[in-house]
């Protein structure tokens, strides 16, 4: 399945506990979350899911070299776009898209031409 086949606004799982890499999960929860004016909803949803939450903004074309985290992350894009890579797979996220990034998943990230703002949940 190519990125063009993924509906926006659903949760994308990036990495797995066994380190296999990227897979897409359609949670079947209806249309994407409209992010304009809904940062509060997104924050509350992440906190409900057990995450500590903060907002992060990347400058246009910001690049993060391969790295991993010692915690699980959930990233929910508010504006702009950002592309995450693991192994030979990439996933571009746009407003309303959510990424689940399990601890220990080696990944890269590249903000789009207008940068990206997103809420990050850590647990």
pLDDT of the residue at 13? 52
Q: Supply the range of the domain harboring residue 44.
A: 9-16+23-122
- Residue 1 inside a domain? The answer is no
> Based on the structure, what is the number of domains in the chain?
1
- Residue 81 inside a domain? The answer is yes
The predicted-structure confidence for 61-99, as pLDDT tens digits, reads as follows: 999 999 999 999 989 898 999 999 988 888 898 888 888
- Residue 2 inside a domain? The answer is no
The span from the CA of 76 to the CA of 57, in Å, is 12
The predicted-structure confidence for 14-71, as pLDDT tens digits, reads as follows: 544 333 333 333 444 444 555 555 778 888 888 998 999 999 999 999 999 999 999 9
- Residue 49 inside a domain? The answer is yes
pLDDT of the residue at 34? 55
Look up the CATH number of the domain holding residue 59: 2.60.120.10
> Of residues 118 and 41, which shows the higher confidence score?
118
- Which H or E run includes 44? helix 39-48
- Residue 4 inside a domain? The answer is no
Q: How far is CA 35 from the centre of its chain?
A: 14
The span from the CA of 91 to the CA of 26, in Å, is 14
């Amino acid at each position: 399945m190519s990125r063009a086949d993924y509906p926006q606004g659903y949760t994308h799982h990036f990495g797995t506990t066994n380190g296999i890499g990227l897979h897409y999960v359609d949670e079947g929860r209806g249309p994407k979350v409209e992010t304009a004016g809904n940062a509060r909803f997104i924050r509350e949803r992440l906190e409900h899911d057990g995450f500590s939450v903060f907002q992060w903004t990347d400058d246009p074309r910001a690049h993060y070299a391969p790295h991993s985290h010692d915690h699980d992350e959930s990233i929910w894009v508010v504006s702009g776009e950002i592309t995450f890579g693991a192994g030979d797979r990439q996933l571009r996220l746009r407003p309303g898209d959510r990424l689940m990034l399990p601890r220990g998943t080696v990944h890269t990230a590249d903000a789009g031409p207008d940068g990206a703002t997103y809420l990050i949940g850590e647990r």
